[in-house]
Amino acid sequence: MQGPSKLPLLKSGIPRQQFKKAKDDNHVSKTETTENKFSRYPHLKRRSKSTTDLLATNILQPLRPLQSIIEKRLVNGIGGSTIKIAKTLELPIKKNVVSNNASKVVPASSSKVASASTKQNGAIRRQTQKRAAPKTDDQPKAKVVKAPEKAKRVASWDFKTKFQLLNEKHGKLLNSHKELQEKFSNVADYEQYYQKYNEIQTAYDKQTKDYEKIAIDYTELKSKYEKLVADHNSLSKTYDEQKTLCATYADQLRTHEDNLELKSKLIEKLSTENNWFKQKALEWENERRALHNTIFDLKGNIRVFCRVRPAIGVTEDQKLQCMLSYPDEYSLEIRKTKESISATSGKPIDNKADFCFDKVFSQRTTQEELFQEIAPYVQSAVDGYDVCVFAYGQTGSGKTYTMLGEDYGSEGVIPRTVSLIFRTVEGLKKTNWEYEVHASVLEIYNENLRDLLSPTGNQNMEIRHNCGRETTVTNLTIEKVENAEDLRNLMELAQKHRTVAATNYNEHSSSLIRLWSIIYLRSF
């Protein structure tokens, strides 16, 4: 260890080697420092300390709150005079602050000019640093470049002048403070900006909510869009299939159209032939009618048939009084079972009788077989000729059974005639014939006429014959019938009226003539 006592001391009492080191480190001025002077003039040092304390208490301390503001203003480019004041007052000044004036605060390595200026004013700066060092050890140190103007030298003991200078600087600081206050009046603008900011924030929040809503809608729409795209693809596929199908159908349609054209021509040809055949059929029909009528004329206009009904209420062991035999289809032979002897000659009487008819129907003849013989007359009626079919015989002989019949399968002549008429008419309509069928039912009893289709049974009726050989009955109900069912209904109605009227006369009287049906056809 090297103790300080062994080093040569300077006049101020500082070891020379230490002083030299301080000088090299630029911590100590070449000239005599204020501290040395104070050490030489203790009374000045005491006065100086009390004045510095006074300044620090009364001037510097109130100005401390402005320190940060001044720094900000310096950063924002406030004039170099403020920097000077700050430097003078040893206020901590931020680095990297560049002023437009001659005085600058710059980084130590940023400018050679700054270094040169620092050298020129090294003494003053070192003095200031030395004074300020004990007060603000923890404050950041700033490299201050003083303006090149020559500072007014003030004697170190002339505290009055220093105080005046400080007062002037204080006044300048106040002015600066005033300027700053004026500039801080822009706070109102900031409030407006803040209000504007709030409005913008509110609008931003609203826009954010709208955006979120739109985002949700967008998601839904996107899913819908994707669904629609899928549907579109499906429909497109179906459309393509249908298009292909349409093309196939179009080809088929063209083929059918060609076929249709051919068939139309064929139909036209067949239609011509059909008309020819219709014409021929009409001619043949007229010829047939003429031949049919000729045959009936040859057979005779009035034809008599005989039908034998089976015995009713007779058992097989009971012996009948007569025997029937049918030598041929036109003859009927009746023979008595008991021989009788002539009272005059005493010889046996011939008990046999022979009858001839246009046709004989035995008791085994069915309704169908009988109608086969009647049917040609129906054809004559349809051909336009007058035809009358009636049954004659004693009571219980089977007239009603033959003409009307009984249950299903044993229908008589009239129901079968009705069915045949309408079948024939339907066939003839195809050969351009038009038919109307009318029906009436008339009963004659003791020269009195009764209309069986009228509920009141019209009494004022007369039979009249005109020159055209047409026989009519006045006030007779004539109903137009469209089909077989209509005609059967009319016959049921006539049967009903007949039953009511039967109480007024003798049903078994030979004076009763019942014209069950007068059916006439009108052809065009």
Ligand X SMILES: Nc1ncnc2c1ncn2[C@@H]1O[C@H](COP(=O)(O)OP(=O)(O)OP(=O)(O)O)[C@@H](O)[C@H]1O
Given the complex with ligand X, which of 306 and 493 has the nearer CB atom?
A: 306
Residues 404-417 as b or e (16 or more Cβ within 10 Å = b):
bbeeeeebbbbbbb
Asked if 400 is part of the footprint of ligand X (rule: CB under 6 A), the reply reads: yes
394 labelled as ligand-binding?
A: yes
What is the token pair recorded at 499?
Answer: 């039953």
Q: Identify the residue among 130, 309, 336, 488 touching ligand X (CB under 6 A).
A: 309
Phi, psi (deg, nearest 5) at residue 88: -60, -40
Q: Does 398 participate in binding ligand X (rule CB under 6 A)?
A: yes
Cβ(38)–Cβ(50) below 8 Å: no
Binding range to ligand X, per CB under 6 A, among 49-57, 137-145, 223-231, 396-404 = 396-404
Minimum CB distance to ligand X smaller for 142 or for 360 = 360
- The yes or no reply on residue 110 touching ligand X (CB under 6 A) is no
Using rule CB under 6 A, residue 357 touches ligand X:
no
* Site for ligand X contains 396 (CB under 6 A): yes
Please report whether residue 18 would count as binding ligand X according to CB under 6 A. no
Question: CA of 466: how far to CAs of 62, 118, 390, 470, 515, in Å?
Answer: 158, 166, 23, 6, 20
Does 118 count as an annotated binding residue?
no
Region near ligand X per CB under 6 A, out of 161-169, 179-187, 266-274, 305-313: 305-313
Per CB under 6 A, does 171 bind ligand X? Answer: no
472 annotated as ligand-binding: no
Among candidates 355, 306, 310, 351, which has minimal Cα distance to 332? 355
In the complex, minimum distance from the CB of residue 382 to ligand X, in angstroms, rounded to a whole number? 27
Task: Give min distance, CB of 435 to ligand X, in A.
Answer: 31
Q: Give 335-385 as a DSSP string.
A: EESS--B-TTT-SBP--EEEEE-SEEE-TT--HHHHHHHHHHHHHHHHTT-
The single-letter code of the amino acid at 146 is: K
115 is in an annotated binding site: no
The answer to whether the annotation marks 366 as part of a ligand binding site is no
- The SS3 assignment for 523 reads strand
Task: Give yes or no for residue 146 binding ligand X (CB under 6 A).
Answer: no
Q: Are 56 and 63 in contact (CB under 8 A)?
A: no
CA gap 80, 83 in Å, rounded: 5
The answer to the question of residue 510 lying near ligand X (CB under 6 A) is no
Least Å distance between CB 309 and ligand X?
A: 3
Characterise 93 by phi-psi region: left (phi > 0), alpha (psi -120 to 50), beta (else). Answer: beta
Does the footprint of ligand X cover residue 393 (CB under 6 A)? yes
Residues that bind ligand X (CB under 6 A): 309-310, 312, 393, 395-401, 508
> Which amino acids are annotated as binding site for ATP, given as ranges?
393-400
